[in-house]
Structure 1
């Protein structure tokens, strides 16, 4: 096997590993709220998400075209160095994905990928190789607009759901019927996730194949084996379950009730499916987080912790530059040392992955304890709790009776 072929094999292997991390990183987007409300058992939820991610990956290739024929101007880059730069960019994406998974932070796998590729390309070739018009229109603007739009939709749907079912207010679990709706809406989110996120890895592999002439540049659609490999890998990652992020989205952003979960998932699915149809490489994590916050605000008695919302937003803003910085450093090794730099990158990538995985075992989060505590990084909405009026009146009556009994006792002892 010659050097070029070996580099392509390394790119495909790392791209599929990124696809795997994307799967377990983003399981929470579809299944955090139904797990939190009890609509689905944790392991059943992630299995359902895995199957639907697999199906969704075959339904659209628009986002794949954005990656393979949009962000990077491949005609500006020598075919001899481009695969190595893609490899360096993937290192940036995988490093950020693993780090944020360890911290339980709902960050964007998509923007980590874009950042890594952009950083590596700028260092290896220059700014001329980046199509900043496409980056702005199909990456940055959707990243700013989609979470806000999803949050507004979730807010309105939550208000509507509570208004329609107002008669259920007197019942302790009067809106449990929404749990059945959540099974459908969360499934729709998982399907939508497959139509958007699996496409990004397909686009990266297709881009690598085009650069070495293994696929014609006139045909931007991924080959069948690429679609199948990416679909299976993201489905496997989804089944493994990103329990740390499920904990953050399911219990941290708001005290999720069935009506809220239904509303958030409806908003998330609608936004992602519309974006996939338009070829926007959207962050499903940002959309899901915006929907959960919007549904929390739509429920009466919610108080927003704007400081925490700000910290989450800062994490989102850091994703692109942080992954770009790691991708740029990895690309520097390639520029300085050529093929030896690729070997150094591969060793460092394996070391980083193993270290972060080892570190995660010290504070393990799985299906058994994902909902047992609230991740500090996700406390964005607090729901104020007041005892029902009848309970409050009873408490006041008991206090008054104790006060009267005490007064009577003192009066009797003084006679």
Structure 2
């Protein structure tokens, strides 16, 4: 069997594994607030998230096309199949490591950094599409800042509207609303995160001379949506505990504000075909809401640990991608 075809099959397997891991690693963020406020039982929240992630993944492909072509040109990528496989191995390694320690790091940063590192190891900095890559980096950088500011504003407005309301009754009403916002946030997660694996598989098909355009094949979209949904069904309890409880004590009114903020920013990014870190966006939304509610009520120690992880993910995953490429290049 042709070695290029074997590599392509391996990439598809690893990309679906990445999407599966992304499901229980990142989707935990989407349902963390609703679980922590007991708006949804954990099992129900996971089922809801799995279904809505699948639906979201089947709705759009714009982000996948960005991943396929904006980091490096897949039609000119030297030793492209080995580059992509190395990137996947690096991103999966980092995702599993951070999941094990319950750190809500970004799968988006991991895979984008790993692709860049493997591309540079293969063909040097000249092979990077700097215009497209910088556009992606800007989206990854500014989206959590926007989420923090927007979360602060949204909750400030909510406080004014409900300032004279009975706190217990208001929270009870918002607990019901949280079911809807958790579904919405899971849907938007699927529209953005599941597409990253779609883009990677399409890159591999182009590198393997099995596909001639950046359009996403339908079977790729369906398989990635299923992998994301199955991964979500496994759950990510360590991440849920960190996001849902260790940042701040979340009440339903806080949860709804954070969910609406996160969903709006993630879907906005999907609409303009930009990948963002759902982990960063959701966590920053909660931080913004917490700062608006009571600055001292936020566990800034947890926030600092998350921020450090966010900062180091790109360079570490890039380094891992380069190392994985050098090792794989010995065998292929």
The interval holding the TM-score normalised by the smaller chain is over 0.9
Counterparts of 2:119 and 2:153 in 1: how far apart (Å)? 42
1:151 corresponds to: 148
CA contact (8 A) 1:74 1:129 kept: no
2:164 corresponds to 1:167: yes
SS in 1 for 2:164: helix
Q: Quote the residue 1:49 is aligned against.
A: 49
Please give the per-residue CA displacement for 1:87-128, whole angstroms capped at 9, x wherever unaligned.
Answer: 011011000100010011111101100111111111111111
Q: Match for residue 128 of structure 2? A: 130
1:127 to 1:156, Cα distance in 2 relative to 1, 3 A: same
CA contact (8 A) 1:59 1:195 kept: yes
Report the TM-score when normalising by structure 2: 0.96
Which of 90, 93, 100 matches 1:92?
90
1:307/1:30 Cα in 2 relative to 1: closer, same or farther (>3 Å)?
closer
**CA distance in 1: counterparts of 2:105 and 2:23, whole angstroms:** 13
Deviation at 1:303, TM superposition (A): 4.1
The equivalent of 2:26 in structure 1 is 26
Corresponding residue for residue 285 of structure 1: 279
Deviation at 1:168, TM superposition (A): 3.1
Structure-1 separation of matches of 2:233 and 2:157: 33
2:83 match: secondary structure:
helix
- Which structure would you say has the larger RCO, counting Cα contacts within 8 Å and 6 or more residues apart? 2
Cα distance between partner residues in 2 of 1:77 and 1:249: 38
Query: Is the 8 Å Cα contact of residues 165 and 175 (structure 1) preserved in structure 2?
Result: no
SS of match in other structure, 2:104: coil
Corresponding position of 2:206: 210
Task: Please report how far the alpha carbon of residue 59 of structure 1 lies from its aligned counterpart in structure 2 after TM superposition.
Answer: 1.0
Distance 2:299 2:252 in 1: 22
* Deviation of 1:305 (Å): 4.7
The CA deviation string for residues 120-161 of structure 1, in whole angstroms up to 9 with x for no partner, is 1111111111112211112x1112211111111111211222
Contact 1:68-1:203 at 8 Å conserved across structures: yes
Distance 1:45 1:306, change over 3 A: closer
Structure 1 residues 131 and 41, CA gap change in structure 2 (3 angstroms):
same
Describe the superposition over 1:42-76 as per-residue Cα deviations: whole angstroms up to 9, x where unpaired: 00001000000000011111100111111112343
Distance 1:34 1:308, change over 3 A: closer
Please state if 1:178 is matched with 2:181. Answer: no
Tell me the residue number matched to 1:320.
314
Aligned positions of 1:346-357 closer than 5 A: none
Q: Offset of 1:264 from its aligned partner? A: 0.1
The runs of 5 or more residues in structure 2 that have no matched partner are none
- In the other structure, the counterpart of 1:35 is 35
| Structure 1 unaligned spans of 5+ | 340-415
CA-based RMSD: 1.4
Q: Secondary structure at the match of 1:124?
A: helix
Task: Figure out how many residues of one structure are paired with residues of the other and give that number.
Answer: 332
| Mapped partners of 2:67, 2:170: distance in 1 | 46
CA contact (8 A) 1:162 1:259 kept: no
Looking at structure 1, the residues matched to 14 and 306 of structure 2 have their Cα atoms a distance apart, in angstroms, of 28
Greater CA deviation, 147-156 or 282-291?
A: 147-156
Using the size of structure 1 for normalisation, the TM-score is 0.78
* SS of 1:221 mapped into structure 2: coil
- Relative to structure 1, the CA distance from residue 212 to residue 157 in structure 2 (aligned partners, 3 Å threshold; closer, same or farther) is same
Match of 1:16, SS state, is: helix
Q: In structure 2, what is the Cα distance between the partners aligned to 1:144 and 1:213?
A: 34
Out of 218, 226, 229, the residue aligned to residue 235 of structure 1 is: 229
Residue 119 and residue 36 in structure 1: after superposition, are their counterparts in 2 closer, same or farther (change >3 A)? same
Answer with 1 or 2: which has the greater Rg. Answer: 1
The equivalent of 1:338 in structure 2 is 331
What is the CA–CA distance in structure 2 between the aligned matches of 1:212 and 1:149, rounded to whole Å?
39
